[in-house]
Amino acid sequence: MENKRPSWTSKYAFIITTIGSAVGLGNIWRFPYVMGQNGGAVFLAVYILIISTICFIPLLNELYIGNSTKKECIGAYESINPKLGFLGALNPLTGVLIASFYVVVGGWIINYIFRSILSYKITDYGEYFISFIQQPFYSCFLTILFLFICIFFTARGVKKGIEAANKFLMPLLAVLLIFLVINSLRLPNADIGLEFMFKPDFSKLNSHLLLSALGQAFFTLSVGMGALLTYGSYIKEDKNLVKSVYTIILSDTAFALLAGVMIFPAVFSFNMEPNSGAGLVFVTLPKIFSQIPYGHLISFAFFILLFSAAVTSAISIIECPCATLIEQLKISRVKACIILFFIISLIAIPATLSFGNLENIKIFGKTIFDTLDFLTSNIMLPMNTLILCLISGWYLKIKGYNLLNNKISGLFFDVGLKYIVPIALAGLIFMGLR
Ligand code: PHE
């Protein structure tokens, strides 16, 4: 079994797939709207501070555990201590739950791609969005279609499916993003949008903003559900994991920043509100696209961009439980993918319907979709990261110096792994539970 494990064809393949995992809805959908809701530039300043200091610690830790054990989540935790397997199992479980709401948004994106191709005329974008996500059959069809596309790539395997999809979609994503940024910067009054992003008003700083930035940073880097652990386990040998980690963080941040620079100048240029929340990308932007020359083309490019980002992340989310099923149950990849297709559909369909027919089903006051989002992003992701940091820092006693080859950053890593990151994560979980 051991030597039949797949591995990346090259270091480039590992880096591009991991960037593909990191850059997703978190960067292009969530980051701009969370920044918009939290005062723009001041949020960005805090976010950059967090992502450039403590975030490399859990990222490096998760990749390192995957790379050194060369196992999927349960196996990796068990090889640390046979009693820890159940904690490892929380990772693929989180993956299944995240996938189940991620694919719903993926389905919405497909609808907007269709709509851009058909040049469909809409008068009220807010109303259109709400009525579209309420249509039971159509929205479920789109959810399943998106899931099928992601499962298809995963089923083709690590090299032929996951790597191939990322090698094609990630460069496409970068090119489209640059094209759209240039386009946005040429709009009248683009500078007001840039000011919103880059001129901080520190009087708006508060603890909620701090924890939102922290949550966003961990979500966007894909830490906390074993996706990185699994991807790390496919690296043949990487003597310089740290360099890869910095490349991943830098690229992820660049994509998020560019997404902001693409969105905010357009928002301000058309006198729209930057704080419209989750609807920013699905309501505000389409409204803007309808008012600019060649808007359909731009809209098409934008939703293809969002689609590419979402697919490469969703693949990484699915690969974690997929690897666990393959290696724990000793079944083929195709079988594991079929099982996952059914399990995720079973949760994703009620999540899709929770915007319409099932909107009255509430769990602790939240719809099914919101519960999945809340439970995973606010509780399970930080909790899994907290557990792995504590295991590495206190039980395995991993030494930063051995990973980083530098006394000062090694020491910072040790303190971060044992104290700073766990405290920050405990704060996040506490805020989530309040
Ligand atoms: N990082 C991805 C995004 O930004 C989401 C994700 C979370 C992927 C956790 C894998 C694991 O969209």
For 223-276, how does the pLDDT look when each residue is reduced to its tens digit (9 = 90+)? 999 999 999 999 987 778 999 999 999 999 999 999 999 999 999 999 888 888
Q: Is 407 within 8 Å of 246 (Cβ atoms)?
A: no
Q: Is 78 within 8 Å of 88 (Cβ atoms)?
A: yes
Residue 124, SS3 per DSSP: coil
The pLDDT of residue 434 is 78
pTM: 0.94
Residue 334, SS3 per DSSP: helix
CA 150 to chain centre: 14
Alpha-carbon distances of 321 from 227, 334, 370, rounded to whole Å: 9, 13, 22
Q: Does 27 sit in the ligand 1 pocket, CB within 6 Å?
A: yes
- How far is residue 39's CA from residue 35's CA, in Å, rounded to a whole number? 6
* 103-122: pLDDT as tens digits: 999 999 999 999 999 877 78
Residues 6+ apart with CB under 8 A from 395: 80, 81
- How far is residue 199's CA from residue 188's CA, in Å, rounded to a whole number? 19
- How far is residue 401's CA from residue 409's CA, in Å, rounded to a whole number? 8
The pLDDT of residue 119 is 74
Q: How far is the centre of ligand 1, averaged over its atoms, from the C-alpha of 215 (Å)? A: 12
- How far is residue 193's CA from residue 54's CA, in Å, rounded to a whole number? 29
Tokens of 363: 């769990």
Atom of ligand 1 nearest to the CA of 24: 12
* 377-429: pLDDT as tens digits: 889 999 999 999 999 999 999 999 989 989 999 999 999 999 999 999 999 89
What share of the chain in percent tops pLDDT 70? Answer: 99
> How big is the chain by its Cα radius of gyration, in Å?
21
Q: Does 372 sit in the ligand 1 pocket, CB within 6 Å?
A: no
Residue 366, SS3 per DSSP: strand
For 319, counting Cβ atoms within 10 Å of its Cβ (0-12 exposed, 13-18 middle, 19+ buried), the class is buried
Residue 85 pLDDT level (bands cut at 50, 70, 90): very high
- How far is residue 245's CA from residue 257's CA, in Å, rounded to a whole number? 18
- How far is residue 85's CA from residue 63's CA, in Å, rounded to a whole number? 18
List, as one string, the DSSP characters of 166-230. Answer: HHHHHHHHHHHHHHHHHHHHTSTTHHHHHHHHHS--GGG--HHHHHHHHHHHHHHTTTTSSHHHH
Residues 6+ apart with CB under 8 A from 188: 269
The pLDDT of residue 1 is 43
Residue 363, SS3 per DSSP: strand
Residue whose CA is closest, atom 8 of ligand 1?
A: 222
Atom of ligand 1 nearest to the CA of 26: 4
Q: How far is the centre of ligand 1, averaged over its atoms, from the C-alpha of 24 (Å)? A: 6
Second-level CATH architecture of 11-433: Orthogonal Bundle (1.10)
* 142-201: pLDDT as tens digits: 999 999 999 999 999 999 999 999 999 999 999 999 999 999 999 999 999 999 999 999
The pLDDT of residue 277 is 77
The residues spanned by each domain of the chain are: 11-433
Q: How far is the centre of ligand 1, averaged over its atoms, from the C-alpha of 221 (Å)? A: 6
SS (H, E, C) 82-107: HHHHHHHHHHHHHHHHHHHHHHHHHH
Tell me what the mean pLDDT of segment 353-359 comes to: 95
Q: Is 128 within 8 Å of 84 (Cβ atoms)?
A: no
335: pLDDT strictly greater than 90: yes
Tell me what the mean pLDDT of segment 81-85 comes to: 97
The pLDDT of residue 100 is 98
Q: Does 225 sit in the ligand 1 pocket, CB within 6 Å?
A: yes
* 291-319: pLDDT as tens digits: 888 888 999 999 999 999 999 999 999 99
Q: Is 234 within 8 Å of 390 (Cβ atoms)?
A: no
Atom of ligand 1 nearest to the CA of 29: 12
- How far is residue 35's CA from residue 29's CA, in Å, rounded to a whole number? 11
For 138, counting Cβ atoms within 10 Å of its Cβ (0-12 exposed, 13-18 middle, 19+ buried), the class is middle
Residue in 169, 218, 230, 316 to alter for ligand 1 test, most ligand atoms within 8 A of Cβ: 316
Q: How far is the centre of ligand 1, averaged over its atoms, from the C-alpha of 228 (Å)? A: 10
Q: Does 256 sit in the ligand 1 pocket, CB within 6 Å?
A: no
371: pLDDT strictly greater than 90: yes
Q: Does 313 sit in the ligand 1 pocket, CB within 6 Å?
A: yes
Tokens of 176: 């489209």
Residue 2 pLDDT level (bands cut at 50, 70, 90): very low
* 16-59: pLDDT as tens digits: 999 999 999 999 999 999 999 999 999 999 999 999 999 999 99
How many CB atoms are located within 10 Å of the residue 433 CB?
8
Q: How far is the centre of ligand 1, averaged over its atoms, from the C-alpha of 377 (Å)? A: 10
